[in-house]
Chain A
Amino acid sequence: MRIGVYVCHCGGNISEVVDVKAVAEFAGKQADVVLARDYEHMCSEIGQKMVQDDIEEQKLDRIVIAACSPQFQGITFMRTLEDTGMSPYVLEMANIREQCSWPHFDKPREATEKAKDLIRMAIAKVRYDEPLERKTKPIGKRVLVIGAGIAGIQASLDLGDAGFEVYLVEKNPSIGGKMAQLSRTFPTEDCAACILSPKMADVPANKNIKLLVNSEIEKVSGYLGNFNVTIVRKPIYVDPVKCVACGLCEEKCPVKVTDEADFEVGLRSRKAIYLPFDFAVPHKYLIDENHCLFLTKQRCRLCEKICPHDAIEFDQKPQKKEITVDTIIVATGYDVFDARKKPMYGYGKYKNVISSLQMERLIVNAAAGAPIRSPGKRIAFIQCVGSRDEQIDTEYCSRICCMYATKLSQLLKRSDPTRDVYVFYTDLRAYGKGFEEYYKRAQSTGVKFIRGRVAEAIENPETKKVTLRVEDTLTRHLLEFEFDLVVLSVGLQPSEGTSKMAEVLKLAKSSDGFIQEAHPKFRPVDTLIDGIFVAGTAQGPKDIPDTVAQASGAAARAIRLMNRGVIDVAPVTAFLHENLCDGCELCVEQCPIEAISMSDGLAVVNDSVCTGCGICIKHCPKNALDLHCYTNKQIETVVEAALADKKEDEVRILVFADDTCAYRLADSVGTNKMSYSTDSRFIRVPSGARVTPNQILKAFKQGADGVFLGDCEQKASPFRETVKAIDDNVTVVREALKEAGISPGRIRYATFVTIMLGGMVKHVNELSALAREEGPIPAEKRKSLGQAAMAKAPRA
């Protein structure tokens, strides 16, 4: 075996803390290491070439790169190896940046020692790396786009134009989303409907897009390349093929409905049979089943009688449709904040307090020559209603309210310069292109901006005018102004559809409730599930240009996966040491996804089904099951290497961190320069469930003073039932520790989503503190540790 080790300086990121020369020298002395070098930037072209030349000249067959996280540049170095004709899987990265120099920036001596350990661990593992081939599997060109607001429309059009087969599913009767309701768009003041309606018309015109309105996603199962989707189409009681939208039915319908969820936000009533709005796509009538006299009380049927095309179909039922797609884009958007939750502003109670979305409609209708009501002469905007407010558990800024209030106030002022328009703001955030200029224009138009969050609104019971109480925080004067109309600049919240889809698709949500992206900088439209992307305000508040850019980005990321016709899959799957298997079948029922079957008295793992969680391994009484890339031998030698130089008075904590959440989380902790105990050594595993109780006990026997298993919360995990498996394993280990007189608190586990930075630090530090307090485990106690008593109960 000929191993090459490369220690990267990362332009000071590593070398300013870790003594890279000493580390490289240490690496050079390890068995089978033919050469060890240190270099400024290993990921640069020169760095990669250096590795390739060495492979050629020194006949290296195993490579260790001590640099950043394998999550960061792993793929780069895999390609470096592949270009020389080597297997990309005989590479190990020692993570001496995110998990060493960054979190231990203040402890250069300990960091250097830890870096040596991390390299020793990588060498131990690389020794047993199998020269596996890259695996691929075929993938089709079908995409499901959920939500047909501007984000969903843009993504669908991009995909359809590129020749991909799109299912665009919208729960409302028309596409267009919130943008269709807006007056003009900031800062250019384009008419929203005028720029949106041509795009809406493009959707049915695109032969690659199948539009399904009035439809919701009920269930999704499967994975990248094979998502099975159940769609339910709600009955609309009108045959969309026969309906020509002549409007005769609407004239006859005796039922008037006013609903805030409508296009006109409750400002105008409509009939029980109605067209969603005048530029709706598809341009078809539908019946509101909650208000139709026939559907609620078995009376009327006037529409049916009048319709000249026999389009009314009262016997429609919900219809289910099953489709299979390769990728999914979630574009489920936002809901505006319900201002009733801030009762001090009187929304829903005072006639002259309205929401900003209602103001959009007032302006559109007035401009169209059909004013709904007069806005009056004195108008106030209250900012941050439903944003930046911990009283309602909404910490985030909704980003667009400053600018839409700036827009609406200007439109009002310009249409009648004698109006007095005030904007009461907390901080005015004009962060985008042309925004500051637009704000300045509003100031010069005569809109008055006052810095202060309004405390309360009081209605005069006779005149119905509304007085606002607010501190001008710049002069420290209390103001009490009376207004004809008060507009609440309501914030953005994850829509009902967004929350529902997060649930159905098992997507992680960030603390604000919006869908969590895979990486905030480099993977902003990927979700944590391969093949599912997010676009628009489902991911967080944003304006129209950002939404459109993100939608095109999501389309491009989906195309990137599907365009080649095949996708790479990691060869991490379970495999069998056939000579050890005695055909007991115990593993078959333990596999949560039924990837193991029996054939000729031996267990057989179905590679294309196996996701590589490793749960099966502990259930094999003969140790016949194993996992590619994380073999039993590798786990055990890495543990050994992590404990090899431990001194007598030292304590050491092993952290088995799953690849999807905990390992990435530990990287983020490092990136944020949050420090934690240097006693810790992280070992990357596909899931904590892969480490068997006996392997954990062995680690304790060999010198570990604490073991922590970090894993994904089940809903964010690519695997099934791993958390339960870990919980079982930890229970078993605890029992064994207790029996040996070792404190059971030395083993613990926690589940995360990738944003819980503080949680990770807390767990590692607490475990380290406990181990330090109780001291290293005495040798005789380690010796008395038994084998794990495995429960043989079948899987629930």
Chain B
Amino acid sequence: MVEKIVVSEKNIKFLKKVQELSGEDIILCDQCGVCSGSCPMVAEMDITPSNLMRMVQLGIEDVMKSKTMWLCASCFACTARCPRGLDLSKVAEALRLINLRKAIDQIDINNLSGEEIKRLPQIALVGGMRKFTS
């Protein structure tokens, strides 16, 4: 079904929040798609990075349900190529923060098996905790 979007105060508030948290002027994105083509993780994503930017521009909070921001590896390939000079990894980080500030963790260390904890490099564990937990 085609969803109807009504852009209201709420949407603008959401956009402003993401702009503030990321420090990026998201409305400047002109949707060229170079980020998506450059992203090494895009094949795993449900929506492309440029689609994520567009949703934030329109203040569609459903973007929070996407897993794209969790898959962002902060490799900065998009940032290095964005013709408008935007840093998309900061936007992804901002979206993650909105989630984490509600104290919703994306991983639980208790669910990791002893084997997994043993196998994972320490830096990956620490990095993962920083990225996925509040």
Contacts and interface: CB of A to CB of B under 8 A. Distances in A.
B32 A426 contact: yes
Interface stretch (B5-13, B45-53, B103-111, B115-123): B45-53
B124 interface: no
Contacts of A455: 33-38, 81
Contacts of B128: none
Contacts of B84: 390
B83 A388 contact: yes
Contact of B50 (A389, A390, A469, A471): A471
Most chain B CB within 10 A, of A388, A389, A471, A472, is at A471
Nearest to A426: B32
Interface string A467-482: 0011111001010000
Contact of A478 (B43, B81, B82, B85): B43
Given A476-B51, A478-B43, A478-B48, A391 B81 contact: yes
Interface in B51-99: 51, 80-85
A677 B11 CA distance: 33
A200 B10 CA distance: 63
A64 interface: no
B42 A453 contact: no
A455 B32 CA distance: 10
A426 B83 CA distance: 11
A452 B83 contact: no
B80 A473 contact: no
Contacts of B37: 452-456, 469-471, 478
Nearest to A452: B33
B82 A391 contact: yes
B20 interface: no
Interface string B14-52: 000000000000000011111111100011000110110
Interface string A377-401: 0000000100011110000000000
A473 B50 contact: yes
A454 B32 CA distance: 9
Contact of B80 (A384, A391, A472): A391
A403 to B, nearest CB: 19
A212 B87 CA distance: 51
Interface residues of A, number: 21
A470 B32 CA distance: 10
A384 B83 contact: yes
B34 A454 contact: yes
Contacts of A389: 83
A453 B29 CA distance: 13
Given A384-B83, A455-B37, A456-B37, A473 B42 contact: no
B34 A390 contact: no
Contacts of B30: 388, 426-427
A388 B80 CA distance: 15
A473 B53 CA distance: 12
A454 B37 CA distance: 7
Nearest to A393: B85
A586 interface: no
A194 interface: no
Contacts of B50: 471, 473, 476
**Residue among B34, B50, B82, B85 facing the most chain A CB atoms (10 A cut-off):** B34
A391 B85 contact: yes
B65 to A, nearest CB: 16
A389 B81 CA distance: 9
Contact of B83 (A453, A469, A471, A472): A453
Contacts of A244: none
Nearest to A468: B37
A478 B36 contact: yes
A455 B38 CA distance: 5
A404 B82 CA distance: 24
A391 B78 CA distance: 11
A344 interface: yes
Contacts of B36: 452, 455, 471, 473, 476, 478
Given A456-B38, A471-B48, A478-B43, A391 B33 contact: no
Contacts of B35: 455
A389 B34 CA distance: 11
B50 to A, nearest CB: 6
Contacts of A456: 37-38
B52 to A, nearest CB: 10
User: Among A344, A390, A454, A455, which residue has the most Cβ atoms of chain B within 10 A?
Assistant: A455
B33 to A, nearest CB: 4
A294 B34 CA distance: 51
B48 to A, nearest CB: 5
A449 to B, nearest CB: 14
Query: By CB atoms of chain A within 10 A, which of B31, B36, B42, B47 has the most?
Result: B36
A455 B48 CA distance: 13
Nearest to A394: B83
Contacts of B48: 471, 476, 478
A344 B35 CA distance: 13
Nearest to A342: B81
A388 B29 CA distance: 12
Contact of A391 (B31, B43, B47, B83): B83
A473 B31 contact: yes
Contacts of B43: 478
Interface string A436-452: 00000000000000011
Given A471-B36, A471-B48, A471-B50, 18 more contacts: A388-B83, A389-B83, A390-B82, A391-B82, A391-B83, A426-B32, A427-B30, A451-B33, A453-B32, A455-B36, A455-B38, A469-B38, A471-B33, A473-B31, A473-B32, A476-B47, A476-B50, A478-B37
24 contacts: A344-B81, A389-B83, A391-B80, A391-B85, A426-B32, A451-B33, A453-B33, A453-B83, A455-B33, A455-B36, A455-B38, A456-B37, A456-B38, A470-B37, A471-B33, A471-B34, A471-B37, A473-B32, A473-B50, A476-B48, A476-B50, A476-B51, A478-B42, A478-B43
Interface of A: 344, 384, 388-391, 426-427, 451-456, 469-473, 476, 478
